[in-house]
A and B are shown apart, each in its own frame.
Chain A
Amino acid sequence: MAEISADDVLHVARLARLRLSDDEVGRMSEQLSTILGHVEALGGLDLENVPPTAHALALTHVTRPDRTRPSWSRDEVLAEAPQPQDGAFRVPPTA
Chain B
Amino acid sequence: MSGVEVLGLTAERCIELLDGRDVSCRELAEAYLDRIDRVDGDLHCFLRTRRESALAEADALDRDGRSGLQGVPVALKDILSTRGEETTAGSRILEGHRPLFDAGAVTRLREAGTVVIGKTNMDEFAMGSSTENSAYGVTHNPWDPARVPGGSSGGSSAAVAAGLAPIAYGTDTGGSIRQPAALCGVVGMKPTYGAVSRHGLIAFASSLDQIGPFALTVRDCALALAAVAGHDRCDSTSVPLPEPVRVPDAEDLRGVTIGVPEALLAQGVEPGVRESFDAALRLAEGMGATLREVELPHAGYGLPAYYIIAPAEASSNLARFDGVRYGLRVEEARDTVIDMYERTRAAGFGAEVKRRIMLGTYALSSGYYEAYYGTAQRVRTLIRRDFDNAFAGVDLIATPTSPTVAFEIGERANDPWAMYASDVLTVPVNLAGLPGISIPSGLAGGLPVGFQLIGPAFAENRILDAAHALERAIGFDPVPPRLGGSA
The residues of A with any CB-CB pair to B shorter than 8 Å are: 4, 8-9, 12-13, 15-20, 24, 28, 31-32, 34-36, 38-43, 45, 47, 50-57, 59, 62, 64, 72, 76-77, 80-83, 89, 91-95
A15 to B358 Cα, complex, angstroms: 9
| Partner pick for A41 among B207, B304, B340, CB 8 A cutoff | B304
When C-beta atoms are compared, the residue in chain B nearest to A95 turns out to be: B336
A94 to B97 Cα, complex, angstroms: 26
A39 to B308 Cα, complex, angstroms: 8
Q: Which of B366-381 contact A (CB under 8 A)?
A: 372, 374-381
> B304 to chain A: closest CB distance in Å?
4
> B70 to chain A: closest CB distance in Å?
29
Contact assessment for A50 and B381 in the assembled complex, using a CB-CB cutoff below 8 Å:
yes
Contacts of B379 in A (CB 8 A): 42, 45, 47
Contacts of A93 in B (CB 8 A): 336-337
When C-beta atoms are compared, the residue in chain A nearest to B329 turns out to be: A82
Contacts of A28 in B (CB 8 A): 354-355, 358
Interface of B is mostly: helix
| Partner pick for A24 among B193, B319, B323, B354, CB 8 A cutoff | B354
Contact assessment for A18 and B357 in the assembled complex, using a CB-CB cutoff below 8 Å:
yes
> A43 to chain B: closest CB distance in Å?
7
Question: Can you report 12 A-B residue pairs in the complex whose CB atoms are below 8 A from each other?
Answer: A4-B362, A17-B345, A31-B416, A35-B420, A55-B433, A56-B207, A56-B433, A59-B239, A76-B100, A77-B325, A80-B325, A80-B326
> B128 to chain A: closest CB distance in Å?
14
Number of interface residues of B (CB under 8 A): 68
Contact assessment for A72 and B324 in the assembled complex, using a CB-CB cutoff below 8 Å:
no
Contact assessment for B378 and A51 in the assembled complex, using a CB-CB cutoff below 8 Å:
yes
Contact assessment for A19 and B343 in the assembled complex, using a CB-CB cutoff below 8 Å:
yes
When C-beta atoms are compared, the residue in chain B nearest to A4 turns out to be: B362
Contacts of A12 in B (CB 8 A): 358, 361-362, 365
The residues of B with any CB-CB pair to A shorter than 8 Å are: 97-98, 100, 193-194, 207, 233, 236-237, 239, 298, 301, 303-305, 307-308, 315, 319, 322-329, 331, 335-343, 345-346, 349, 351, 354-355, 357-359, 361-362, 365, 372, 374-382, 384, 416-417, 420, 431-434, 457
A39 to B376 Cα, complex, angstroms: 9
When C-beta atoms are compared, the residue in chain A nearest to B355 turns out to be: A31
Contact assessment for A92 and B237 in the assembled complex, using a CB-CB cutoff below 8 Å:
no
Contacts of A83 in B (CB 8 A): 329, 331
> A67 to chain B: closest CB distance in Å?
13
Contacts of B342 in A (CB 8 A): 17-19
When C-beta atoms are compared, the residue in chain A nearest to B315 turns out to be: A16
> B10 to chain A: closest CB distance in Å?
32
